[in-house]
Amino acid sequence: MRIIVFGGDGFCGWPASLHLSDLGHEVMIADNLSRRAIDEELGAESLTPIASIADRLAAWREVSGREIAFRDVDLAADYDALLTALEEFRPDAVVHFAEQRAAPYSMKDAGHKRYTVDNNVRATHNLLAAIVESGLDVHVVHLGTMGVYGYGTAGMQIPEGYLDVQVTTPDGETIDQQILYPSNPGSVYHMTKVLDQHLFAFYAKNDRLRVTDLHQGIIWGTNTTQTSLDERLVNRFDYDGDYGTVLNRFLVEAAVGYPLTVHGTGGQTRAFIHIQDMVRCVQIAIENPPEAGDRVKIFNQMTETHRVRDLAAQIAEITGARVELTPNPRQESAENELHVVNRSFLDLGLEPTRLSEGLLREVEETAGRYRDRVDLERIPSRSLWTSRQAPGVPPSAPVPVA
Amino acid sequence: MRIIVFGGDGFCGWPASLHLSDLGHEVMIADNLSRRAIDEELGAESLTPIASIADRLAAWREVSGREIAFRDVDLAADYDALLTALEEFRPDAVVHFAEQRAAPYSMKDAGHKRYTVDNNVRATHNLLAAIVESGLDVHVVHLGTMGVYGYGTAGMQIPEGYLDVQVTTPDGETIDQQILYPSNPGSVYHMTKVLDQHLFAFYAKNDRLRVTDLHQGIIWGTNTTQTSLDERLVNRFDYDGDYGTVLNRFLVEAAVGYPLTVHGTGGQTRAFIHIQDMVRCVQIAIENPPEAGDRVKIFNQMTETHRVRDLAAQIAEITGARVELTPNPRQESAENELHVVNRSFLDLGLEPTRLSEGLLREVEETAGRYRDRVDLERIPSRSLWTSRQAPGVPPSAPVPVA
Output b/e per residue, A49-84; b: 16+ Cβ within 10 A: ebbebeebbebbeeebeeebbbbebbbbeebebbbe
Asked if B117 and A125 come within 8 Å (Cβ–Cβ), the reply is yes
Q: Classify the C-alpha dihedral A274-A276-A282-A283 as positive or negative.
A: negative
Contact B135, B90 (CB under 8 A): no
Q: Count of A–B CB contacts within 8 Å?
A: 136
Nearest Cβ partner for B166 among A117, A166, A208: A166
Strand order in the sheet with A139-145: A69-71, A26-30, A2-6, A93-96, A139-145, A210-216, A297-301
Q: Do B126 and A114 touch (CB under 8 A)?
A: yes
Of the residues A199, A338, A340, A383, the best mutation for testing chain B's interface (the one with the most B CB atoms within 10 Å of its CB) is A199
* Residue in A118, A183, A386 closest to B206 by CB: A386
**Three-class SS state of A163:** strand
Q: Which residues, 6+ apart, have CB-to-CB distance to B40 below 8 Å?
A: none
Question: Which of B165, B283, B127, B135 is closest to B214 using CA atoms?
Answer: B283
* Helix and strand element counts for chain A (H, E): 12, 14
B191–A198 CB contact, under 8 Å: yes
Is there a contact between B170 and A110 if contact means CB atoms under 8 Å apart?
no
Contacts of A182 in chain B (CB under 8 A): 177, 179-180
Shortest CA gap B190–chain A (Å): 10
Return all residues near A26 (Cβ < 8 A) that are at least 6 apart: A1, A2, A3
E strands, A149-235, are 162-168, 174-180, 210-216, 218-220
Strand A162-168, strand A260-263: pairing: unpaired
Closest CA of chain B from A18, distance in Å: 32
Q: Which residue of A has its CA nearest to B148?
A: A198
Q: How close is the nearest chain B Cα to the Cα of A124, in Å? A: 11
Taking the CA of residue A240 and the nearest CA in chain B, the distance in Å comes to 24
Secondary structure (3-state) at B205: helix
pLDDT of residue B360: 87
What CA–CA distance (Å, rounded) separates B96 from B98? 6
**Nearest C-alpha of chain B: how many angstroms from A28?**
24
CB contact under 8 A, A166 and B165: yes
Nearest to B216 by CA among B2, B13, B358, B17: B13
Distance between CA atoms of residues A221 and A227, nearest Å: 12
What pLDDT is recorded for position A298? 98
With CB atoms and an 8 Å threshold, state whether B110 touches A118. Answer: no
In angstroms, the CA B380 to CA B241 distance is: 5
pLDDT tens digits for A336-358? 888 999 999 999 999 999 998 88
Between β-strands B174-180 and B93-96, what pairing exists: parallel, antiparallel or unpaired? unpaired
Distance from CA of B118 to the nearest CA of A (A): 7
Query: Cα(B273)–Cα(B252) distance, rounded to whole angstroms?
Result: 19
Are the beta carbons of A141 and A286 closer than 8 angstroms?
Answer: yes
Chain A residues with beta carbon closer than 8 angstroms to that of B202: 185, 188, 191
- The count of other CB atoms within 10 Å of the CB of residue B180 is 20
Mutation test of the interface with chain B: which of A131, A137, A151, A206, choosing the one with the most B Cβ atoms within 10 A? A206
Q: Name the residue among B114, B199, B339 with its Cβ closest to that of A129.
A: B114
Q: How far apart are CA A235 and CA A242, in angstroms?
A: 18
B26: closest CA of chain A, how far (Å): 28
The β-bridge relationship of strands A139-145 and A93-96 is parallel
Burial class (CB in 10 A: 0-12, 13-18, 19+), A399: exposed
Tally of residues, chain A: 402
Assess contact for A230 and A63: CB atoms under 8 A: yes
CA B74 – CA B33 distance, rounded (Å): 9
Query: According to DSSP H, which parts of B162-256 are helical?
Result: 188-206, 246-255
Across the interface, whether the CB atoms of B122 and A125 are under 8 A apart is answered: no
DSSP state letter for A366 = I
Residues of chain A with pLDDT under 70: 151-155, 387-402
Contacting residues for B287 by C-beta, under 8 A, at least 6 apart: none
Task: Mark the ranges of chain B whose per-residue pLDDT is less than 70.
Answer: 151-155, 387-402
Q: Which of A78, A202, A207, A343 has the highest number of chain B CBs within 10 A, making it the mutation to test binding with B?
A: A202
In the three-class reduction of DSSP (H, G, I as helix; E, B as strand; rest coil), residue B312 is classed as helix
Q: pTM score > 0.80 for this model?
A: yes
List, in sequence order, every residue forming a beta bridge with B177; answer none if it has no partner.
B165
User: With contacts defined as CB-CB under 8 Å, which chain B residues touch A195?
Assistant: 121, 195, 198-199
- Spatial CB neighbours of A252, under 8 Å, sequence gap ≥ 6: A47, A239, A244, A367, A371, A374, A379
Please count the other Cβ atoms lying within 10 Å of the Cβ belonging to residue B97.
Answer: 25
Superfamily the domain A2-387 falls into: NAD(P)-binding Rossmann-like Domain (3.40.50.720)
Q: Which residue of B has its CA nearest to A128?
A: B110
Asked if B110's CB is within 8 angstroms of A385's CB, the reply is no
Length of chain B: 402
The number of helices, as runs of H, and strands, as runs of E, in chain B is: 12, 14
> Which site among A121, A175, A187, A207 would you substitute to test the B interface, given the most B Cβ atoms closer than 10 Å to its Cβ?
A121
DSSP symbol at B332: S
Contact A155 B132 (CB under 8 A): no
In this complex, do A165 and B165 lie within 8 Å of one another by their Cβ atoms? yes
The beta-carbon neighbor of B129 closest among A113, A133, A198 is A113
Q: Is A81 left (phi over 0), alpha (psi -120 to 50) or beta?
A: alpha
Identify the bridge partners of residue A165 per DSSP, sorted by sequence position: A177
CATH number for B2-389 (one of 3.20.20.80, 3.10.129.10, 3.30.70.890, 3.40.50.720): it is: 3.40.50.720
The residues facing B215 across adjacent strands are B144, B300
Helix (H) or strand (E) holding A325: strand A323-326
- Write the CA distances from B112 to A114, B102, B144, integer angstroms: 22, 10, 20
Q: Which residues of A are identified as catalytic?
A: 145, 189, 193
The pLDDT value recorded for residue A398 is 33
The span from the CA of B183 to the CA of A200, in Å, is: 13
- Which of A110, A168, A205 is opposite residue B132, by nearest beta carbon? A110
A-chain residues within 8 Å CB-CB of B114?
A: 79, 122, 125-126, 129
Count Cβ atoms below 10 Å from residue B196 Cβ, excluding itself. 27
d(CA A275, CA A236): 12
Test mutation, A156, A180, A193, A386, chain B, max B CBs within 10 A: A156
Contact B198 A206 (CB under 8 A): no
Pairing outcome for strands B260-263 and A162-168: unpaired
Rounded distance between C-alpha atoms, residue B224 and residue B8, angstroms = 15
Q: What distance in Å separates the CA atoms of residue B118 and residue A337, rounded to the nearest whole number?
A: 37
CB B71 within 8 A of CB B30: yes
Going by the DSSP 8-state scheme, the letter that residue B158 receives in this structure is B
